[in-house]
């Protein structure tokens, strides 16, 4: 189970009012900071990590956090239609058709065993993959340019062969998308 809280005011003074959202999670193996497109800062830590240890880690990384936030401010974000049940209901079937067309095309190349494909109403992920071979995709893919949809589909298909982001995983992605880093940066401009 994941617990979420904010690191207290002691830290806020030290970091010029940058107060991260603290998430203790059994899935997290080491301390990690994520700066989201809306400039929200999340500090993810393993379950047994103390608040003091989390504060020290965040204090050491504060310059990186500020730089990441500044980079975000300089980036022009492309606004997608608001996330909601109405938009989901309108676009879910179109997303299903789009995803299946792309899966058939790209899986002819990668030849992965896909167990199940689900279209979801997700805010933070374009796609995900499970160890059982299930692929989940956001219905919001219908709002992306086609080349980014292709990248998301290939990314998740490659996870069926490599369930991580190892060099082997990125080599698989690069077989069809050699400029995957640029595509990932472009995808980050959409929210």
The CATH number of the domain holding residue 177 is: 3.30.2010.10
Q: Where is the domain boundary, 74, 95, 120? A: 74
pLDDT of residue 121: 86
pLDDT of residue 83: 62
pLDDT of residue 12: 37
Whether residues 104 and 69 fall in one domain: no
Q: Residue 69: which domain range?
A: 3-74
Q: Where is the domain boundary, 20, 53, 74? A: 74
Residue 80 lies inside a defined structural domain of this protein = no
Q: What are phi and psi of 82, to 5 degrees?
A: -60, 140
Residue 20 tokens read as 């991260």
Whether residues 70 and 126 fall in one domain: no
Whether residues 64 and 117 fall in one domain: no
Residue-by-residue pLDDT tens, the chain, 191 positions:
444 454 543 343 344 568 889 999 888 889 999 887 777 899 999 988 899 999 999 999 998 888 888 877 766 556 565 666 777 788 889 999 999 999 999 999 999 999 999 999 887 899 999 999 999 999 999 989 999 999 999 999 999 999 999 999 999 999 999 999 999 989 988 87
Whether residues 181 and 94 fall in one domain: yes
CA angle 132, 144, 38 (to 5 degrees): 90
Whether residues 100 and 149 fall in one domain: yes
Residue 102 lies inside a defined structural domain of this protein = yes
If one counts every other C-beta atom within 10 angstroms of the C-beta of residue 153, the result is 26
The total domain count for the chain is 2
Whether residues 93 and 173 fall in one domain: yes
- The Cα 98–Cα 93 span in angstroms is 9
pTM of the predicted model as reported, rounded to 2 decimal places: 0.63
Residue 79 lies inside a defined structural domain of this protein = no
pLDDT of residue 74: 63
For 98-149, the three-class secondary structure string (H helix, E strand, C coil) is HHHHHHHHHHHHHCCCCCEEEEECCCCCCEEECCCCEEEEEHHHHHCCHHHH
């Amino acid at each position: 189970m994941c617990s979420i809280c904010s690191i207290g005011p002691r830290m806020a003074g030290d970091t010029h009012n940058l107060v991260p959202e603290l998430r203790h999670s059994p899935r997290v193996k080491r301390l990690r900071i994520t700066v989201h497109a809306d400039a929200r800062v999340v500090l993810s830590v393993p379950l047994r990590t103390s608040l003091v240890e989390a504060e020290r880690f965040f204090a050491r990384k504060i310059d990186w956090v500020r730089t990441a936030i500044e980079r975000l401010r300089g980036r022009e974000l492309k606004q997608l239609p608001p996330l909601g049940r109405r938009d989901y209901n309108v676009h879910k079937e179109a997303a299903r058709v789009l995803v299946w067309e792309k899966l058939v095309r790209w899986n002819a190349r990668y030849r992965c065993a896909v167990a199940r494909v689900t279209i979801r109403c997700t805010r933070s992920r374009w796609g995900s993959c499970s160890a059982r071979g299930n692929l989940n995709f956001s219905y919001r893919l219908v709002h992306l340019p086609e080349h980014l949809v292709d990248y998301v589909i290939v990314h998740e298909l490659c996870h069926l062969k490599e369930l991580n982001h190892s060099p082997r995983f990125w080599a698989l992605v690069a077989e069809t998308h050699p400029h995957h880093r640029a595509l990932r940066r472009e995808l980050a401009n959409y929210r």
